[in-house]
Amino acid sequence: MNAGRATAAAPRRRGRKRRVGTVVGLSVVAVLMIGTLTVALGAQTMVSRVSCATNTIDVTVGVSDDVAPAVRHIGQYFNAQHRTISGRCAVIHVVSEQSATQAAQVAGQKPAGGRPVDAWIPDSSLWVDVARSSPSGAQLVQPTGTTVARSPLMVVMPRSVAAQMPAFGTQVGWQFLLPETVGGPATALGLRVEFPDPAQSSAGLATLIELQRLLGSGPAALADFTKFVFNVQVTPPFTSGTSLASLVNIAEPPRNGRVVTVTSEQAVVQYDKSHPDQPLSGRYPTEGSYELDYPYVLTSSDPLKLRAAVAFEDALKSNYAKSYVRYEGFRSANGAASGWVSQYGLTTSQPNLATPPPPGQAETALQAWSRLGLGSRDLALIDVSEQMATPVAANGTTLEQVLSQVATVGMSQFPNGTQMGIWSFASHLNGTQPYKELVSVGPVLGEAGLTTRRQAILQTDQTYQPVAGAPAALYSTILAGYKQMTATYQARYTNAVLVITAGVDNAPGDISAATLTNDLRTLYDPKRRVEIIMLVLGGKGDVSALQQISAATGGQAYEITSPSQVSSVFFAAIARRLCAPNPSCAT
């Protein structure tokens, strides 16, 4: 029985050995297979990495300076995923530049500093509008509809300045930036508006558009807009905490400047984070804040680069990207802000937003800014004929004395970029000529003898005396001045002949108004435009004839009855630049 049990047991032991052997064999095979698969996968990964190192589709993304750190981080996140397009790895390279500069580059108006960008993230759709205003830009620039980040604009000043400004209060509108003469408090409060150059800054460009909308249209609105432009201090953009620190420094002793500017919410957040003991005071404009919207735009004509750029668009729309832009102080595409920004007095809810401007408005605003920014190059013709001795007030004030006041007030309005010269005129004032050069045409800050040209002109303004018995050869003087300015025309300026006169031409043998008008029409060259602007004093001149003379050059004649009118007339005359080539829109 024992032997039987032993005999029966033996086969079971042999069978177990076979099964164990089989299991061991399978395990070895499995290990070998897993090892082989691991090696294969490792080799594939290595091949993929080698491929991504040597076989890539390189996409250059031009990005606004302020959002560049966030986009660069998202680009690294994307590159680590080794996304392939037609067997090649898509690799994102982020280059930062001012949006205005990149707009000119993608529109083909300015050579690219490095390689052309294949995609673009400006800080505002305004620059997309500007870029697409050129034929090449319209063909190349392709909006995707994707917004990377958002940041509303704020009216901002140092907290120390705001403490002195009850008018800053809790609500502030765009009009806070306007001078008192245009209905704003800025000049009355002694504020200096540090205005970001619209040619470089989205904040400045958007503010310019909002103020144009606020002021309206028509001659008076154009003059008011011109007053604003001439009353601000143009600065580089305040797009970072560092640049805003320079604004705060102006408000500190010994300068104690009362300054205000416009910048983005994100720039304020970044400044306040790094200066918790010296935060800024900021307000979202009550009429509605313009919002920087950081659009993603395609700018390549290469099909593979476009496919890679579209793949990167997915990364820009990811939850990871949304979280990271909020971390950097921006709002994500849906307008959501990180809760921590409330620590700095900013709202996490969506502020009231302005209606986006229509297509073409950004380009129109830039053209207006450019025209007003042109320096003036002017020859002023000053009437010193006997007519200017006419009393115009009970106290005996003469036209010449009024003229001196007019000239002094007018001269103070001209910016430092002006070129100017002065002639006086009567009849036979300089031998056979009816005019005499007192100050040559040149930069007002340039030297004129022992002083600057501006000082020389101001001193001359106080010395005008009517020449007894001398009639006025007004028309021949205007013709000579016009020929002089046409012959010396400079394209970088608005060139004009300014005539301050009683408007009477009574010199024997002088040319007629009709002859002058015909001669001017013959000489007029729209490509070398020289305007005649007249200020007619005293009410004795033939204003209708003088209007025709001015109109022959695209100019205008203004009748002056009080020195207090000079400032408004000055800005009305400058505002005519906004209407070129149809200056009549300003009249």
Per DSSP, 584 falls in state G
Q: Which of 142-156, 170-184, 224-238 has the highest mean pLDDT?
A: 142-156
Confidence category of residue 504, pLDDT binned at 50, 70, 90 = very high
Work out the pLDDT band at 202, boundaries 50, 70, 90: very high
Is the pLDDT confidence value at 233 over 50? Answer: yes
CA-to-CA distance for 52 and 56, rounded, in angstroms?
A: 6
Residue 266 · residue 153 · CB < 8 Å: no
Rounded to the nearest angstrom, the gap between the alpha carbon of residue 467 and the centroid of all alpha carbons in its chain is 49
Distance, CA of 74 to CA of 319 (rounded, Å): 11
What is the Cα–Cα distance from 132 to 109, expressed in whole angstroms? 11
* Spacing of C-alpha 537 from chain mean position: 39
Confidence (pLDDT) at 586: 55
**Distance from C-alpha of 399 to C-alpha of 563, rounded to nearest angstrom:** 11
Question: Which one has a higher pLDDT value, 378 or 20?
Answer: 378
The Cα–Cα gap between 341 and 357 comes to 28
The C-alpha atoms of residue 325 and residue 225 are separated, in whole angstroms, by 36
Contact call for residues 148 and 333 (beta carbons, < 8 A) = yes
> Using 50, 70 and 90 to split pLDDT, how confident is the model at 35?
very low
Hey, how many other C-beta atoms are within 10 angstroms of the C-beta on 348?
Answer: 13
Look up residue 63 and give its two tokens: 């990005």
Centre a 10 Å sphere on the Cβ of residue 490 and count the other Cβ atoms it contains.
13
Residue 455 has pLDDT above 90, yes or no: yes
The residue among 54, 83, 96 whose CA lies nearest residue 313 is: 83
Instruction: Say how far apart CA 544 and CA 536 lie, in whole Å.
Output: 11
Averaged pLDDT of the chain: 86
Q: Any idea what the Cα angle at residue 193 is, between residues 263 and 172, rounded to 5°?
A: 65
Q: What number is the average pLDDT over the span 568-582?
A: 79
Per-residue confidence (pLDDT) for residue 583, from 0 to 100: 57
Token digits for 579? 């209407």
Q: What percentage of the chain has pLDDT greater than the value 70?
A: 89
d(CA 97, CA 240): 14
pTM of the model: 0.79
As a whole number of Å, the end-to-end CA separation of the chain is 133
Q: What is the pLDDT of residues 54-64, one digit of tens each?
A: 789 999 999 99
Contact predicate 284/219, CB 8 Å: no
Q: What is the pLDDT of residues 203-221, one digit of tens each?
A: 999 999 999 999 998 889 9
The distance of Cα 206 from the centroid of its chain, to the nearest Å, equals 8
Instruction: List pLDDT tens digits, range 81-130.
Output: 999 999 999 999 999 999 999 999 888 766 656 678 999 999 999 999 99
